A and B are shown apart, each in its own frame.
Chain A
Amino acid sequence: MAVRPVLALPDPFLQRPSATVGPIDAAALALAADLLDTMRSRPACVGLAAPQIGVGLRAFAIDVTGHRKARSCAGELVLFDPVLVSASRPVMGREGCLSIPDLTGDVARATEVVVRGVGVDGTQRELEADTFEARALLHELDHLDGFLFLDRVASPHAVYRRKVYR
C-alpha cells in the first residue's frame, strides 16, 4: 500500500488502452489499495484510474462523498473491469484531471449511467449513478480506454487554464 506518483501529460502511457484484470488476486488488491491511498492523498480528487499511476489494468477508484455537485453517492469504492451498461441525458459540465493539472474543460457527459464491475470482494456489482458521480465514472472509464477529457472537450473555447488544483 502506497501513495503512487501520478502520470501527467504528455506521458504516452495515458493514451494506452488498459488490459482486463480478471480474477481478483493479491496483486489486484494491492492495486486497489494504491489507488485508494493515492486518491485520498489528493484533497480534490474524486476518482483515479490505474493507468494514471502507471498500471495498465482496467481498474479505478472513485469517491464523490461530500462533493457539492454530487447527488447519487456510492461512497468510496474500487471497481475492476468496469463496463458501461447504459448512459443517457448528456449535459455539459466542467472537468479536471490530476493528469492534466494545468487545465479544465467543458465536456458533455451522460448524467444517468449504469456501470457494472467487480468489487474488491470479487463479486459483481452494479452502480446506478447520476449527475456528478455519473460524470466521474465516465471520466474514469475513459482513462481505461486511453482517453482524457481533452479528447472530449466541446470546442476550442471549452478549455480553461487553472492556477490551483482544488
Chain B
Amino acid sequence: MHFAVTAVGADRPGIVAGVTGAFVEHGCNLEDSSMTILRGQFAMMLVVDAPAGVGAGELEAALAGPAADLDLVVTVRQAAEPPEVEPDIESWTVSVYGADHPGIVHGIAALLAERSVNIVDLSTRVVGTSDRPVYTMVLQVTLPPEGDPHQLQADLEAKAGELGVTCRLHPSEADIL
C-alpha cells in the first residue's frame, strides 16, 4: 500500500532523520521524495510503500513523535498504486519572469488548467532588489493529446502581456539531447 506523506516545519537539523526513522520502524520503503527549504521552512513530500497491515492511522501515530519533537505539520494519505512504467509523454518547459506582483503564478496556472495542460514540476525564485523584486518561475508541463504548442505559446504570451511578465515555451531538453 502506498501513502503520500508531507511534513513541513521551520528548518533545523534532524528533520529527515526523524521522519524517515518512523518509516524504518514500520518496515516502510521510501519510494520517491522531494524535499527543499522555502524561506526557512523545510518541506518534505514522500511516497512510501507500507507493508500489509500498516495503514494511514499507524503511520500517523508513528509520525506523531517526530512531529511533536521537531514541530512539524504532518499529513498522511493513501495514494493510488503508481503505474508500472511512467508513460513517456513529451514535456515542455515554460519560463516566466517579470516585476514581482501578486497573481503571476495563478494567472499562468489558470490558463494552463483551462487548456488541460498538466503542470508536472514548478520552481519559483524571487531575485533582484528589495525595492525592485523580480519573480522568476520555470514550469515543466505536458500537453493533452490534442494540445497545440504553437497555440499555447500564443495564449501564454497574451496572458503574460496582461500580467506584465514574459512567458515562453520550449521543448524540455531531455527531448532534444
A161 lies within 8 A of B125 (CB): yes
Contacts of A151 in B (CB 8 A): 95, 166, 168, 170
Minimum distance in angstroms from B75 CB to a CB of chain A: 23
Q: Does B173 contact A (CB under 8 A)?
A: yes
List the A side residues contacting B170 at CB < 8 Å: 151-152
Q: Chain B residues with Cβ under 8 A from A106's Cβ?
A: 173
Task: Verify A103–B136 contact, CB threshold 8 A.
Answer: yes
Query: Given A9-B134, A159-B125, A92–B173 Cβ distance below 8 Å?
Result: yes
Report the separation of the CA atoms of residues A157 and B125 in the bound assembly, to the nearest whole angstrom: 11
Contact pick for B177, options A8, A12, A92, A153, CB 8 Å: A92
Enumerate chain A residues within 8 angstroms of B136, measured Cβ to Cβ.
Answer: 9, 103, 150, 159
Residues of chain A contacted by B127 (CB below 8 angstroms): 9, 100, 102-103, 161
- Which chain B residue has the least Cβ–Cβ distance from A158? B138
Decide if B173 touches A108 in the complex (CB within 8 Å): yes
Bound complex: CA A106 to CA B93 (Å)? 13
Total A-B Cβ pairs within 8 A: 76
Query: Cβ of A159: which chain B residues have Cβ within 8 Å of it?
Result: 123, 125, 136, 138
Partner of B128, one of A102, A152, A153: A102
Closest to A107 in B: B173
Check if B113 is an interface residue, CB within 8 A of chain A.
Answer: no
Could you tell me if B176 and A155 are in contact, using CB atoms closer than 8 angstroms? no
Size category of the B interface is 20 to 34
Within 8 A of B (CB), among A86-139: 90-92, 100, 102-103, 106-108
Any B CB within 8 A of the CB of A7: no
**Contact between B138 and A156 (Cβ–Cβ < 8 Å)?**
yes
B172 lies within 8 A of chain A by Cβ: yes
Instruction: List B residues 31-53 near A (Cβ within 8 Å).
Output: none
- Which of B93, B98, B132, B134 touches A155 (beta carbons < 8 Å)? B93
- Contact indicator A154/B93 (Cβ below 8 Å): yes
CB-CB < 8 A to B134: which residues of A?
9-10, 102
**Interface residues, chain A, with chain B CB atoms under 8 Å away:** 8-10, 12, 15, 90-92, 100, 102-103, 106-108, 147, 150-159, 161
Q: Top 8 A-B pairs ranked by shortest CB distance?
A: A102-B127, A156-B123, A154-B173, A156-B138, A151-B168, A108-B173, A10-B99, A156-B121
| New contact pairs (7) apart from A156-B93, A159-B136, A161-B127, CB-CB < 8 Å | A10-B97, A10-B132, A10-B165, A102-B128, A106-B173, A108-B177, A156-B138
Residues of B within 8 A of A (CB): 93, 95, 97-99, 121-123, 125, 127-128, 132, 134, 136, 138-140, 165-166, 168, 170, 172-174, 176-177
Could you list 22 A-B pairs, sorted by A, with CB under 8 Å?
A: A9-B127, A9-B128, A10-B99, A10-B165, A12-B166, A92-B173, A103-B125, A103-B136, A106-B173, A108-B173, A108-B177, A147-B168, A151-B170, A153-B93, A154-B172, A156-B93, A156-B123, A157-B123, A158-B138, A158-B173, A161-B125, A161-B127
